[in-house]
């Protein structure tokens, strides 16, 4: 089944404790993105990647890191999480010849 | 700059029509529409490209007015399954997609 998977789905952590949210897609998509969703603000792009080893900042990259060492994986790293990073995070991917993005199921992160 | 959607929320009875608007202060080259059901991930509905035709899928269609820098999503004879939050997205350069704040649509029987 073609899909985008994220792990973990739910995470409660404390300020300053490094964490990684994994994202994997099995559709051989070139493009991958990370978004955060907050009430009243819609979806905001954090980082995106156009292919292996090619990443760039979205609109809200502060406090986040990403890497794209393999085409299928695009992990999101929070080196020192803070409470204002409490949010619902979505990973998405798409094929280069299409505009349609496929979203993962989301990761709900709470930083206390 | 985030596109502005209106209305923010709308409640309909099954079978009624709805229009959701998406406006931008900057020139639009494309508008993407997604729907997100409660507790689920956003799902792509359609994209409208500058100079392209009006798109449609069953009873959901959309238009793109380049001069007014806005797009409208039309839901005809709404069904219960249409409930959810609708987002428009505009491109801010290659791969940078900026979404509106969303329009919550509730369809009651």
- In order, the DSSP letters of A1-38 are ---EEEE-SEEEE-TT--EEEEEEESS--SEEEEEEEE
Whether residue A107 has pLDDT greater than 90: yes
Give residue B16's pLDDT band: very low, low, confident or very high (50, 70, 90): very high
Q: Output B22 or B27, whichever has higher pLDDT.
A: B22
| Minimum-distance CB partner of A99 among B32, B43, B96 | B32
User: How do residues A91-104 score in pLDDT, each as one tens digit?
Assistant: 999 998 888 999 99
Smallest Cβ–Cβ distance between B42 and the set A31, A99, A103 belongs to: A103
Q: CA B83, CA B78: separation in Å to the nearest integer?
A: 9
Phi, psi (rounded to 5 degrees) for A98: -140, 155
Is the confidence at residue A35, as pLDDT, over 80?
Answer: yes
Determine the pLDDT at residue B55: 63
Q: Is A48 on the interface with B (CB under 8 A)?
A: yes
Q: Give strand pairing partners of A38.
A: A42
Q: Please tell me which residue, B29 or A48, carries the higher pLDDT value.
A: A48
Indicate whether A41 pLDDT > 70.
yes
For the cut 70, the answer to whether the pLDDT of residue B94 exceeds it is no
Q: For residue B38, what pLDDT is reported?
A: 94
Question: pLDDT band at residue A1, thresholds of 50, 70 and 90?
Answer: confident
Kindly state the average pLDDT of the residues A26-54.
Answer: 95
Nearest CB among A50, A101, A104 relative to B44 is that of A101
Does B96 contact A48 at a Cβ distance shorter than 8 Å?
A: yes
pLDDT of res. B50: 78
What sign results for the dihedral spanned by CA atoms A110, A64, A48, B100?
positive
**pLDDT for res B52:** 65
For the segment B54-68, the average pLDDT, to the nearest whole number, is 79
How do A10-13 and A107-111 pair as beta strands? Answer: parallel
Q: Is the pLDDT of residue A9 over 80?
A: yes
* Beta carbons of A33 and B95 less than 8 Å apart: yes
SS3 of residue B7 by DSSP: coil
Contact status of A103 with chain B (Cβ, < 8 Å) = yes
CA of A61 vs chain B CAs: smallest distance (Å): 12
Per-residue pLDDT averaged across A70-99, rounded?
Answer: 95
- When pLDDT is averaged across residues A45-56 and rounded to a whole number, the result is 95
- CB contact under 8 Å between A101 and B2, yes or no, is no
Give the integer Cα–Cα distance in Å for A91 and A24: 9
> A87, A110, A100: which is closest to A33 by C-alpha?
A100
Nearest-CA neighbor of B33 among B67, B65, B5?
B5
Cα diameter, chain A: 41
């Amino acid at each position: 089944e073609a899909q985008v998977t994220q792990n973990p789905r739910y995470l409660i952590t404390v300020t300053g404790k490094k964490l990684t949210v994994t994202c994997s897609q099995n559709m051989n998509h070139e493009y991958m993105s990370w978004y955060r969703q907050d009430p009243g603000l819609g979806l905001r792009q954090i980082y995106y990647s156009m292919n292996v080893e090619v990443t760039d900042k979205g609109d809200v990259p502060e406090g986040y890191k990403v890497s794209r060492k393999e085409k299928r994986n695009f992990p999101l790293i929070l080196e020192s999480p803070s409470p204002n990073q409490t949010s619902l995070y979505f990973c998405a991917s798409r094929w280069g010849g299409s505009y349609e993005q496929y979203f993962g199921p989301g990761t709900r992160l709470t930083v206390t | 700059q985030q596109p502005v959607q209106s209305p923010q929320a709308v409640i309909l009875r099954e079978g009624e029509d709805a229009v959701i608007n998406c406006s931008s202060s900057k020139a639009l080259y494309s508008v993407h529409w997604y729907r997100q059901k409660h507790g689920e991930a956003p799902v792509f509905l359609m994209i409208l490209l500058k100079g392209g035709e009006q798109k449609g899928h069953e009873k959901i269609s959309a238009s793109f007015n380049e001069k007014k820098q806005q797009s409208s999503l039309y839901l005809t004879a709404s069904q219960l399954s249409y409930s959810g939050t609708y987002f428009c997205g505009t491109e801010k350069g290659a791969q940078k997609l900026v979404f509106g704040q969303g329009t919550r649509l509730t369809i009651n029987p």
